[in-house]
Chain A
């Protein structure tokens, strides 16, 4: 363990980083449980990797916005602690790989010097709050959603109600009804709306991709902006209490809503409102610091080829609502770029644009506020960096997760096939370079980080077994998905499964058919007209495994024979079921509740006391081998098995005791009383446990 001293000014952040360093040390001396440590490090952006002994670090960048100063900092950190490669994710984060666990606290401390965090980038927390990359410049937006995304990010970061949920929670903001933030596939999605003079949002809830995609429901057609934080707090409290915890595959919010129904869920949220400190939380957009375009002279530029410039301008720039400015899209192959270029780019943007850039949902870079007159100059400078590849957000711009390159869960290569398909389009279908109506996405497994099941044409990594029991890498071909705007979308059908090496052939057949027969219909409409069976017939002979060659057993981007190797996901830290540890945690929670009470953060204090009680109840149930799938079930089971029968005497039912938080507003008096309740409950269950053990 290297000595670690932080120079962070913010004491909360400092405490966080020191805690990480301490826990790493305890873990390495075998003093804390591995599972417990994992869940702690995940909530601090430190992830496992397919390669043993090194970590992937996810840097949380709310709505993908970074200043040039922050980009410089991230580049420095990547050079010092990682490999110099920066990977843009589909949720607007940056991931760096091959980091030594022992150095993660220093790495984090470095990033915080420019207010960049790792906190709650992974784990069962509120993940990065994403937004349309065009937020603030979008011609169609009623207003800039950035200040609202920022406020939501800040409000829930480190908030006790969402530190140990049953599963992760994803939130997005869309600038306009085009829904470029993809609200329909988020746990909570907000689409900007104006009603009268009031800013607000259409709110979608319970969407998600993964192996069982679910389309979000409309929670509100219009919710004033001052209500979004209280509503989200209600949703998180209900999710924490009712959410499934044992079965990881069924733990996302979408399953809870599917189980109990939207109306019942809505009732639960409204019942929760009393417990929430502020019924309204106004968000003042004036406090948000927007970047200011630099006032510079236009350098003289002589373009060698006017035509290539014009083509680039047509495919790689985005109009802005601010007159005289455009945004430049840099198409980043697979979202990977390197620190040497990142620094040059940062300098360029700092001097000639507005000192800000956005990482996009399609793993690209958007530079807002470029003076139109500066476009030839930017073209010249970006060309030097290889950053003028044509087709930003166009068909050729294929999304892919890291797949088997670095991810533990990957089943087959996604980046390898993505490169190959981009090559096919560039060389054989150049007309698609400027086609933005065709979306191709690839994931290395069913978890859909590459969002394959919402694409027009999607591919998912799989493995396929031949008659003689050999295993080849495979791709599932999914067709007909798409974002229809206004918070609606369709998911792609799983049409056929083919050996990976036939991916390019499948794409050719689909594109040829589309060109010949679609009559200019958009892909989604054409797919719906023809139906799944039509495409199944078109592709089904490719699925035959009787005629595989040696080459079919080598995945894209690999030299060796494919071997299936799938690890276990880390997203959700597994709960350790040791009774003693649980009691310890209950004590820790009470201690933290008291600290919050001292700082007059009553709502936080109450929630920690609540968690302590549920945790203590869980300890008792576990010691008697009772299932503890969700908090509400823990509460009712404790009453049924211990309180009603008089095994443990509380004077009231446990649910009356614990659910006081629903009925009392978060005052100092109630917080103090409730913490005492938690303390005395813990004492009683510990005594019960000690007696029954003997």
Chain B
């Protein structure tokens, strides 16, 4: 599963620097696949089959609060014992996203892919 930030977020920004994949962005910010990863080029096929451009600006997922780009979230697998955003969130609003369920193996593969 990827982690999702709920609308209970108080925009404190504590999670952002913790993310090992640079998957967390401030509300209304554009983001890129290549930020904090080794992805490059205009046709990158993600492990889930999606084809993306690593260099182009992506639309923000939330305009109000911090958000996590699900394709870049590995739940910290491969880096830490537990998701770091959830560990530091002062209001416990970084929770598993039931719409993006992935197995540990999938997450490990994703982590390896992002930082290949």
Contact = CB atoms under 8 A, between A and B. Distances in A.
- Verify that A and B bind, or say they do not: yes
B13 A411 contact: no
A564 interface: yes
Given A462-B92, A465-B92, A446 B12 contact: yes
A644 interface: no
A445 interface: yes
Contacts of A476: 88, 90
Contacts of A10: none
Contact of B90 (A247, A446, A536): A446
Interface string A434-454: 000000000001110000000
A250 B14 contact: no
Interface in A479-522: 494, 496-497
Nearest to A472: B92
A494 B88 CA distance: 7
Given A249-B26, A250-B26, A536-B81, A212 B14 contact: yes
A411 B9 CA distance: 13
B10 to A, nearest CB: 6
A358 to B, nearest CB: 33
A460 B90 contact: yes
B13 A566 contact: no
A45 interface: no
Contacts of B91: 411, 462-463, 564, 566
A536 B16 CA distance: 21
B46 to A, nearest CB: 29
A212 B88 CA distance: 11
A212 B17 CA distance: 7
A544 interface: no
A38 B5 CA distance: 30
A462 B90 contact: yes
Given A463-B91, A464-B92, A446 B26 contact: no
A211 interface: yes
Contacts of B92: 462-465, 471, 474
A189 interface: no
B72 to A, nearest CB: 20
A461 interface: yes
Nearest to B92: A465
Contacts of A497: 87-88
B81 A211 contact: no
Interface in A332-369: none
Interface in B79-111: 81, 87-92, 95
Nearest to B26: A247
A411 B90 contact: yes
Contacts of B12: 211, 249, 445-447
Nearest to A568: B10
Interface string B1-15: 000000000111110
Given A247-B26, A249-B11, A249-B26, A445 B90 contact: yes
A465 B92 CA distance: 6
A563 to B, nearest CB: 13
B13 A211 contact: yes
A247 B17 CA distance: 16
A347 to B, nearest CB: 44
Contacts of A494: 87-88
Contacts of B87: 494, 496-497
A212 B90 contact: no
A564 B10 CA distance: 12
Interface string A241-278: 00000010110000000000000000000000000000
B76 to A, nearest CB: 13
Contacts of A250: 13, 26
A211 B17 CA distance: 10
User: Of residues B81, B89, B90, which shows the largest number of chain A Cβ atoms within 10 Å of its Cβ?
Assistant: B90
A300 B10 CA distance: 59
A176 to B, nearest CB: 32
Given A247-B26, A411-B91, A474-B92, 20 more contacts: A211-B14, A212-B16, A249-B11, A249-B12, A249-B26, A250-B26, A445-B12, A445-B90, A446-B90, A462-B89, A463-B91, A464-B92, A465-B92, A471-B92, A496-B87, A497-B88, A536-B81, A564-B91, A566-B10, A566-B91
Interface of B: 10-14, 16-17, 26, 81, 87-92, 95
15 contacts: A211-B12, A212-B13, A249-B11, A249-B12, A250-B13, A411-B91, A446-B90, A447-B12, A460-B90, A464-B92, A465-B95, A474-B92, A476-B88, A566-B10, A566-B91
Pick the 7 closest A-B CB pairs, nearest first: A211-B14, A462-B90, A465-B92, A249-B13, A211-B12, A446-B12, A446-B14
